[in-house]
Amino acid sequence: MQETSKKKVKWKREQKLALVMSLIPLIGFVIFNGFPLLISFIGMFCNVDLYDLTNIQWNNFEGFKSVFIPRHAFELFYFDLSKYFYKAVVITIWIASTQLVTLLIALVVATLLREKFFGSKLFQVLFFIPYICSTVAVALMWRWIFDWEGGILNSILGTNVKWLEDPKTMTWCIIIAIIWSAPGYGIVMYKAAFSNINNALYEAAAIDGANAWQKFRNVTLPGISPTTFFLLQAGVGAGFLIYDLAQLIIPNAWGSPGGKDSMGLTLMRLVYYLITNSTTTDANGVSYMVSCACVISWLLFAVTGILSMILFRQREKSAS
């Protein structure tokens, strides 16, 4: 703006309007993403008040210590945070790795749907439905399937397992629900990617005497790899930041975030728990919970950011 005033160019009304209009999404970004980023950054090093920002106090890295050093938080404010944190790291990575299974299912199903045959269109329409079903309804559905008395799984298997309450099985309940609902997106994306592969490549491969597997390995896979990297990128976000399905299928148990033994606790759930329970204070009435939540949020941001950057680079490379 200063540049133009120096040049003393008289703007036309339309140009001013265009500048204002182009700025609106950016202004929205700065206000609603920039400020939360700034506050949570400060919050890593200071105790911030949920309702009074003027009340900011340097906390001598207690937030970091509480998250990473075992027993530190327990001695400080009687909540064994690091125990839950390390548990949540394991569970989050475990659940996030489901995204790879989802991707594989999507690839296999899309490949099978590639050939046009009677009913292929119908299958394609049907397979997308779980993806648009609301997470809450999906969770209600799976909770009923895994129900101890009356649930269909125990009835079919003839077992008597408390799937949703046994720490050994409850993480699997979340994972199965994810596998049920997620592949639809990948199927549609792969279908679109297939149609962008040049048919001449297959013809050339056929002339070279390639069999079906060789064609898939040498023509199809390289052709769809930008889509694969894109889906992985989306999967990093969906996987590491999972909150809703985990929380809805395995709700917090009394005194134990993330259900019994915290086997359903993801990092996003831990952040949520810390924010909503930030009234827990140390002997002097100081709450470190929000600060700890900021530390975990920034850690998640760093992990998802780095991973999606790497995947983005790979995608650019594979596209060229």
Q: Which is nearer to other proteins, 3 or 283 (CB)?
A: 3
- Compute the half-sphere exposure of residue 90: CA atoms within 13 Å on the CB side of its CA: 11
The amino acid at residue 137 is A
Q: Report how far apart, in Å, the C-alpha atoms of 34 and of each of 40, 41, 309 are.
A: 10, 10, 20
**CB 278 to other proteins: min, Å:** 9
In whole angstroms, give the CA distance from residue 69 to residue 283: 19
In whole angstroms, give the CA distance from residue 294 to residue 46: 10
254 in Cβ contact with 317 (< 8 Å): no
Q: Which is nearer to other proteins, 45 or 70 (CB)?
A: 45
**CB 80 to other proteins: min, Å:** 21
**CB 21 to other proteins: min, Å:** 4
In whole angstroms, give the CA distance from residue 69 to residue 313: 35
Provide the 10 A C-beta neighbour count for residue 256: 14
**CB 57 to other proteins: min, Å:** 15
Q: Report how far apart, in Å, the C-alpha atoms of 310 and of each of 230, 232, 313 are.
A: 11, 11, 5
The dihedral region occupied by 61, where left means phi > 0, alpha psi between -120 and 50, and beta the remainder, is left
**CB 221 to other proteins: min, Å:** 14
Strand partners, 56: 48
**CB 183 to other proteins: min, Å:** 9
**CB 144 to other proteins: min, Å:** 6
In whole angstroms, give the CA distance from residue 271 to residue 290: 8
Closest CA to 257 of 292, 223, 227, 285: 292
DSSP state for residue 252 in the 8-state scheme: P
In whole angstroms, give the CA distance from residue 246 to residue 88: 12
**CB 175 to other proteins: min, Å:** 14
Task: List all residues 6 or more positions away from 176 whose beta carbon is below 8 Å from its beta carbon.
Answer: 142
